[in-house]
Amino acid sequence: MTFNTHKEILQQPRVWRKTYDVVLSRKDEIKAFIDKYMNDGYQVVLTGAGSSAYIGDALECALAETRFRGARSIATTDILSCPGLYFNSASKVLLISFARSGNSPESIGAVKAVNQTAGSAAHIFITCNAEGELAGIKGDNVLCILLPPETNDLSLAMTSSCTSMLLACSLVSRIAEIEAQKEYIDILSDCVQKAIGRYESALEQIAAKNFKRAVFLGSGALKGISEESRLKLQELTDGNIMCAFDAFLGFRHGPKAVINKETLIVYLVSPDPDVRRYEMDLMRTIREQGRYIATVTICQQPTECPETELMVETMLPGGFPMIYGCVSYLFVAQLLGYYKSIALGLSPDSPSADGNISRVVEGVTLYI
């Protein structure tokens, strides 16, 4: 049986190129909009819910070498419930909203909350649905970047929508040099397409193991990627696999208690050798203690590390910008979730058999 989830995972390298073309085609408009507000001292805030929030969590670190340095990630769910904690009449906010459908109540509510609470607000909507409510909001202070229609995933889990929105924002942050970014998108797309071909079967075998828990660990921007990876496996298995994420160093301080003999551990290894020293120390400790069922190690280049059941090498070149490189790690959790869902007798496109979670969140009342 063919599932949309599988198709949407595999199409990512192709739609990343199309996403680049979308941003490139609007270079002058995007640059003029950003200049208007950034030159006036507006604070960039990245927002979304669920996977869309985790895009912001990864980008908060990954944008450090761009014009959006200092951007803050605040989930729409936090903005909506407690806007006064984050904004006041002195706030000048450039809110970048990520939304697959643009129809989640929190997406619209967060925009309204910022408009009402901040002294001045402008908005960039990065969305995948031309018919969504968010895409329908107009104004001189609004810029909507609509991604290729294929990114509007039909399945419950966000895969190509998530990675494409992350890349779109990365490209927007370097809009003045957008032409020079094409090389990076082409390399990323080629490397991930080849890596999926090399490792998909091995990931299916890992998914067949009888693990009941999974932990994803990453440093810096890869902590945000591990957060999204955690969600992919957990939601695609309808919560049958309980998942956690953390930074490598943070994991030592109590959260490490989650590991037992039924745990899969996925290491998202940094390409930075200084960061990697700390990561390898923890990996060696965990290996020596042996409290897990298997480990998967993801890295950009061949790396000496403790023995692992599966080493995934994306083969991105040395020095590749993390703003794009962090995306290369996500297909691992996507495919693990997809194959584990099937192994558990679920439908990856709609794994929530009792409707506990849905493609677009329902039941939220906006008190605004």
pLDDT tens-digit series, residues 88-110: 999 999 999 999 999 988 999 99
CATH 3.40.50.10490 holds for 199-343: yes
> What is the tens place of the pLDDT at every residue in 129-148?
999 999 999 999 999 999 99
| pLDDT value of position 1 | 73
- Give CATH 3.40.50.10490 domain extents, the chain: 4-173, 199-343
Q: Other CB atoms closer than 10 Å to residue 112's CB: what's the count?
A: 15
Check pLDDT > 60 for residue 278: yes
Percent of the chain with pLDDT over 90: 94
pTM of the complete model: 0.96
Extract the tokens encoding 98: 């990520």
At 242, which helix (H) or strand (E)? strand 242-246
Looking at every residue in the chain, the average pLDDT score rounds to 95
Check pLDDT > 80 for residue 354: no
Residue 352: pLDDT band by 50, 70, 90 thresholds?
confident
Pairwise CA distance, residues 179 & 176, whole Å:
8
> What is the tens place of the pLDDT at every residue in 178-211?
999 999 999 999 999 999 999 999 999 999 999 9
> What is the tens place of the pLDDT at every residue in 7-59?
999 999 999 999 999 999 999 999 999 999 999 999 999 999 999 999 999 99
Pairwise CA distance, residues 360 & 127, whole Å:
14
Residue 335 backbone class (left: φ over 0; alpha: ψ -120 to 50; beta: rest): alpha
Pairwise CA distance, residues 69 & 184, whole Å:
20
Question: What DSSP designation does 83 have?
Answer: G
Residue 213 · residue 260 · CB < 8 Å: yes
Torsion of CA 310, 312, 318, 322, to 10 degrees: -120
Residue 219 · residue 337 · CB < 8 Å: no
- Domain 4-173 - what CATH class? alpha beta
For 279-311, the DSSP string reads: HHHHHHHHHHHT-SSEEEEEESS----S--SEE
Three-class SS of residue 45?
Answer: strand
Extract the tokens encoding 322: 């993390």
Check pLDDT > 70 for residue 359: no
Residue 122: pLDDT band by 50, 70, 90 thresholds?
very high
